[in-house]
Amino acid sequence: MRVEEFFESSVKLMELKTHEDHRGIFIQCYDEAVQEVCGFEVKQENISISKKNVLRGMHYQWDEPMSKLVQCVHGKVVDFVLDIRKESRTFGESMSFILDNPNKLLLVPAGFAHGFISLEKETIVKYHCSCYYNKQGEGSIDFFDNEINLKNLLTIEKNNVIMSKRDEQAIAFSDYKKQSKF
């Protein structure tokens, strides 16, 4: 397994070994080595299936703080992370990652907002989560907020994406800063 580190080594992109033969490809997606890199035991797994141009995010959970290990098992996404840890020297900074192969795992630790846009007609993303989902302890930051500058990482317009009502009503980053959860 190869590991690249970002944001002072808190966000990690892992590339897993693949085993290929005449039948196809086999990938061991989670084991003790991956768990050691993540620093958490998986408590919940989720799968989202998205159409092309679906935008999900920028989500975070503060009660109980959730870390995610994100894997695109089919299709292609541009995945985004935003540092929302008020005391971090990278607070407010964002990055994007292309996830287009199931051998890539992106660790998004608690304290980062996370989202992605699907680039293919059907994209399947799997999340290994450090805790259980808590609707009362979650939040969403507006992907299109000029202050966080995510849309410049990928040229997209709000009227060209498919979003949930929750994401359409996400708060501005300036509002998040007034009530920071991390």
| Residue 127 falls in the annotated catalytic set | yes
Burial (CB count within 10 angstroms: exposed 0-12, middle 13-18, buried 19+), residue 152: exposed
Q: Report whether the peptide linkage leading into residue 66 is cis, meaning its omega lies within 30 degrees of zero.
A: no
Q: Which of 60, 114, 127, 176 is catalytic?
A: 127
CA-CA distance, 153 to 117, in Å (whole number)?
11
Give residues with Cβ within 8 angstroms of 179, minimum separation 6.
none
Query: Is 22 one of the catalytic residues?
Result: no
Dihedral sign computed on CA atoms, order 59, 62, 64, 69: positive
**Given 59, 60, 114, 176, which residue is catalytic?**
59
The residues annotated as belonging to the active site are 59, 127
